[in-house]
Structures are given as structure tokens and as C-alpha cells.
Structure 1
Amino acid sequence: MDVSRRGFLKLSGLSIAALASGLGFDPTIAEAKGFVLKLEGSKKIPSICHFCSGGCGMLLYVKEGKLIHLEGDPDHPTNEGALCPKAASLLSVAYSPNRVTKPRRRAPGSDHWEEISWEDALNRVAQKTKEVREATWKANDEIINAKTGQRDLLSVNRAEGIAFLGSAEVDNEESYLISKFCRIIGTPYNEHQARI
């Protein structure tokens, strides 16, 4: 069959017009059916996004122990079903081959990371915390008395080389424990990531 360029365009236009006129094919129905089949047999779990302090609601669909879909929760008062790009990408983050699942250490001067055990990681963190606390401990602070103009020593007892940064995923009980921990080790620098 020999079709000219003009004939091809006419034929294409007629075909599109015939399909659009309603020959019984509606792609939106097919999409909806595919979406329902994808979620069939999954468990819907309400959750909250952890990227910032907004606390946006999400609905997670889990099938056979694996997250297969997530979407914004339309009944949540914060986001009313909408998700920002970070929250929408959580599905790809959960199963990314680049996701770090074990502790790693890069030795001083090294150009690569090496996996270490959890016990070794916790011991290293504890040892480093102790070293920094001892090196940056400040028992007294010198102040000038506003009334007399004299220099006085004020007992402060703080570790100025340690700070703690909280997370949007931390609940009230965990925040309380973190605050107590900061007081125990003597750091006054306890901050939250949403304020930074």
C-alpha cells in the first residue's frame, strides 16, 4: 500500500477522531482497574513522613512484607493527601541498592568505607564521646559582676565539644530520653533538625 505523507496524516487524524468519539475504550477505566489489581491483597498502614517536622500523613500498602505503594493520606489534617517530592520518593529509597544497612567506617586517610559490626560501631561512638567530653569540658566560666565590676567564677559544668541533633521521627518519650542524655553528658547543645 502506497500512502503519501498527506494521506498518512489524514488517516491518523481519522483514527484518533474515531477512538476519541467513544468506540467503547476509556483509558481512565483501564488505569483504575490496573491500580486496584496492584493493591489487591495488600495491607493499608497509616504512617507519617519522616523527612521534616511537618508530620504529613501517608498510606503505605504492604504485600508479603514488602512496601509496594505509598500515597498521601487524604484524611490527614496536615497535608490532606498531598506529598512533597521527598515523601513521594520514599518507595524508591526503601529498596534502593545504595541504601546503607550496616555500620561503616572510613579510616583516617582512607579513600573507601569498610563495614564494621554494630558492637564495634557503638564502642567507637562511646570512646569518641568520652574523649571529646574530657577534652572540651568546662567546669567554670568567668563572668563580670554587673554591680561591682569584679570578675567572678561561675560553675557551669558543660561539655562544649558535643552537640545533639534530633529528628522529626523522634516521639515525645524519645525526646525526653535524649534531653536527659544530653544533661547527663553535660552538653547544652540539644537542637532539632526542623529548626536548622
Structure 2
Amino acid sequence: MTRVVPGSGWLARWPVIRQLKGEDPRGSAARSARTDALRPRTERADKVARSVCPYCAVGCGQLVYVEDGRVTQIEGDPDSPISRGRLCPKGSASKQLVTHPGRQTRVLYRRPYGTEWEPLDLDTAMEMIADRVVRTRRETWEQTCEGRVVRRTMGIAGLGGATLDDEENYLMKKLYTALGAVQIENQARI
């Protein structure tokens, strides 16, 4: 039986032995040429924009890295007094809001009793929505209820989304209140 002596042959070249002997304190033995060739996703960014995460009312700071007009990375902003560079899982995934291949970029409409979605131009869609809101308000308006003046409609309700910021939610609340809606809620919670 041959005895293998540390320091000779293949065993001496084994990264674990070099690290245990203290010859490789920074771990370069475990590095490869591929590892050394890797670069941070933020390195080639043309510009960095400071932003606020759109998901909830906390307002965590974000750094949005842009290369050739496209978002390449979104990270927490270490200078933000609110989040100090940290993001929750939803905030960390917010890059997908603008880059996900399944993101809808046009209006789709499915007619009543229809089985297929069809593209619609934005002006037509906005007109359809406005007509339906005005008609619903007119048809469901209540001036009084059980002898009390209420001036409301129960036919319109508002449910805000988590990707609306505080200013957008403020405007939505004002719009629904002006329409007479009283069923207004927001889902901006983690």
C-alpha cells in the first residue's frame, strides 16, 4: 500500500487542502476562469435612476439601472432613509413589471358572451369605459336611502392595486368620491 503525503502530487493541489493549510486565505482556489469573467449586471448601465418601489405604501427606495433605454436591473437604494437598501420579495422582483415577456402592452377586449380577446385601440376603450361609468352612475344613483340623504351610487366600486403609488391612489379616491361611490378599497398591502 502506498502512502500519500500531503504536499505532493494531486492532493497538494486539491483546494480544500490548500485552504486548510492556510495557503489560500481568500478562496482563490475555488475560483475558476468563468467566475472571474462574470461581471455585475449594473456595470454597463448608461444611467441609474432613483425611484420608489410601486408595490405598497412603505415607499422603499430603488436604484433602476438602464442600458440602451432598457431596464437591466433594479436594486434597493442604500441611501434611502426608509429601506436602507433593502427590498421585500415583491420589490426585488419589480423589474418584471417592465421587462416580463408576458406583460400586456395593448388593450384587449372580450365582448359579452365572447370566447376570444381582441385588440382595441386606447381611445375606443376609454370611450367605452366612460360611457359605462356615466350610464351606471345614472342608473344606480341614490339620493336618499331609508329617509336619509345619502347621494351615492352602489353600482360603482373602486379597488386600487398594489402597483399604484400614493399620489395615484389619492387621485383615484378623489375620482370615486366625486362619482358618488362609497365602496372604495385598496389592496396595497404586503
TM-score between the two structures when normalised by the length of structure 1:
0.73
2:140 is aligned to 136
Instruction: Pick which of 121-130 and 103-112 moved more.
Output: 103-112
2 CA distance for matches of 1:40 and 1:58? 18
2:165 is the alignment partner of 1:170: yes
Query: In angstroms, what is the RMSD of aligned CA positions?
Result: 3.2
The amino acid across from 2:24 in the alignment is: G
Kindly indicate whether the alpha-carbon contact (under 8 Å) linking 1:106 and 1:114 is maintained by their aligned counterparts in 2: yes
The amino acid across from 2:39 in the alignment is: G
2 CA distance for matches of 1:111 and 1:12? 68
Q: What does residue range 23-172 of structure 1 map to in structure 2 within 5 Å?
A: 26=28, 27=31, 34-35=39-40, 38-142=42-146, 153-167=147-161, 169-172=164-167
Kindly indicate whether the alpha-carbon contact (under 8 Å) linking 2:42 and 2:65 is maintained by their aligned counterparts in 1: no
Query: What's the offset of the Cα at 1:12?
Result: 7.1
The amino acid across from 1:178 in the alignment is: M
Kindly indicate whether the alpha-carbon contact (under 8 Å) linking 2:106 and 2:119 is maintained by their aligned counterparts in 1: yes
1 CA distance for matches of 2:13 and 2:170? 69
Instruction: Pick which of 74-83 and 182-191 moved more.
Output: 182-191
Query: What's the offset of the Cα at 1:98?
Result: 0.7
Give the gaps of 5 or more residues in structure 1: 1-9, 143-152
Kindly indicate whether the alpha-carbon contact (under 8 Å) linking 1:39 and 1:61 is maintained by their aligned counterparts in 2: no
- SS at the partner of 2:15? helix
2:24 is aligned to 22
Instruction: Pick which of 79-88 and 181-190 moved more.
Output: 181-190
TM-score between the two structures when normalised by the length of structure 2:
0.75
Count of residue pairs the alignment pairs up = 174
Query: What's the offset of the Cα at 1:130?
Result: 1.8
Kindly indicate whether the alpha-carbon contact (under 8 Å) linking 2:52 and 2:61 is maintained by their aligned counterparts in 1: yes
Give the gaps of 5 or more residues in structure 2: 1-8
1 CA distance for matches of 2:189 and 2:42? 39
Query: What's the offset of the Cα at 1:47?
Result: 0.6
Which protein, 1 or 2, shows the higher relative CO under an 8 Å CA cutoff with sep ≥ 6?
Answer: 2
2:181 is the alignment partner of 1:193: no
- SS at the partner of 1:123? helix
